[in-house]
Structure 1
Amino acid sequence: MRHPSEDGRMSNPEVVTKTQRRMHWGVGVAALVMLFAGVGTWLVLRQSATELPHPSMAVIPKPSHPGLAPRAEPPLPSSAEMDALLRTRLARASLMPEFATWLKEQDLLRRFVTVVGNVAQGDSPREAVSFLAPAGTFEARRKAGKLVIEKQSYARYDVIGKVVGSLDMGVLVSTYREVRHLAERLHMETARPGSTFDATLHLAFEQVLAVPVIDGDIEVVPKGAMFVYADPKLEGLTAAQKHLLRMGPQNLRRIQGTVREASQQLTQQASRR
Structure 2
Amino acid sequence: MPDQDTAEFRPAPERTSPTPWITLAALVCAMAAGAAWWFWLRPVAPAAAPAPVAAAPEALVAPPPAPEASGPQNLIDALAPPDAALPALAESDKRVTELLAELLGRDQLTMFVLTDGFVRRVVATVDNLGRAHAPSRMWPVQPTPQRFVVDGTGDAPTTVAAANAARYSAFLAFAEAVPMEPAVALYARLYPLFQQAYEELGYPKRYFNDRLVAVLDQLLLAPEPRGPLQVKLTPVNTEVPNLRPWVRYEYADPALEALPSGQKILLRMGPANEARAKALIRELRKRVATGELHLPPR
Report the CA distance between 1:28 and its aligned residue.
7.5
8 Å CA contact 1:86–1:175 kept in 2: the answer is no
Distance 1:184 1:38, change over 3 A: farther
* Larger strand share, 1 or 2: 1
**Do 2:223 and 2:267's aligned partners in 1 also have CA atoms closer than 8 Å?**
yes
How far did 1:124 drift? 0.9
Aligned residue number for residue 232 of structure 1? 254
Q: CA deviation at 1:126?
A: 0.9
Decide which of 89, 104, 109 is 1:99's aligned counterpart.
Answer: 109
Residues 49 and 108 (structure 1), Cα distance of their counterparts in 2 relative to 1, 3 Å cut: closer
Gaps of 5+ in 2: 1-11, 13-26, 40-71, 237-247, 294-298
Residue of structure 1 in register with 2:272 after alignment: 250
Q: Distance in 2 between matches of 1:240 and 1:214?
A: 15
Give the Cα separation in 1 of the matches to 2:86 and 2:176: 36
Relative to structure 1, is the Cα distance of residues 36 and 229 closer, same or farther in structure 2, using a 3 angstrom cutoff?
Answer: closer
Identity among equivalent pairs (%): 21
Structure 2 length-normalised TM = 0.60
What count of residue pairs does the alignment treat as equivalent?
Answer: 219
Deviations 1:17-63 (A, max 9, x none): xxxxxxxxxx9854524423799xxxxx767677479xxxx9xxxxx
Cα distance in structure 2, aligned partners of 1:259 and 1:29? 12
Letter of the 1:202 partner, please give it: V
Asked if the contact 1:28/1:126 (under 8 Å) is kept, the reply is no
1:126 aligns with 2:136: yes
What's the counterpart of residue 183 of structure 2?
Answer: 172
- CA distance in 1 between partners of 2:233 and 2:170 (Å): 29
Partner of 1:70 in structure 2? none
Secondary structure of the residue aligned to 1:36 is coil
Cα shift readout 1:70-114 (whole Å, capped 9, x = no counterpart): xxxx9952545x233333333354469433434562221121112
Give 1 or 2: higher helix fraction: 1
Match of 1:148 among 149, 153, 159: 159
Assess, with a 3 A threshold, how the Cα gap between structure 1 residues 153 and 213 changes in structure 2: closer, same or farther. Answer: same
For the 8 Å contact 1:120–1:204, the answer to whether it is kept is yes
**Which segment drifts farther, 170-179 or 124-133?**
124-133
Q: Report the CA distance between 1:138 and its aligned residue.
A: 1.6
The RMSD of aligned alpha carbons is 3.9
Q: TM-score, normalised by structure 1?
A: 0.65
Name the SS for the 1:228 alignment partner. Answer: strand
The CA deviation string for residues 149-205 of structure 1, in whole angstroms up to 9 with x for no partner, is: 101122112222221122111111110110111211121112234222122212221
Residue aligned with 2:115, SS:
coil
1:9-28 matches, within 5 Å, as: none
Larger radius of gyration: 1
Change in CA separation of 1:195 and 1:93 when aligned onto 2, cut-off 3 Å: same
